Amino acid sequence: MPEPTANVRWHAPGLTRDERRARLGQRGATVWFTGLSGSGKSTVAAAVERALFDRGHHAYLLDGDNVRFGLNAGLGFSPEDRDENVRRLAEAAALFADAGLIALVSVISPYEVQRSAARTSHTSRSLDFVEVWVATPLAECERRDPKGLYRRARNGELPGFTGIDAPYEEPVGADLVLAREPAPLDELVGQVLDLLAARGVTAP
78 catalytic residue (yes or no) = no
Which one-letter amino acid corresponds to residue 105?
V
User: Residues with Cβ < 8 Å from 53, sequence gap 6 or more?
Assistant: 59
Q: Kindly name the residue from 78, 109, 121, 124 that is annotated as catalytic.
A: 109
The residues carrying an active-site annotation are 109
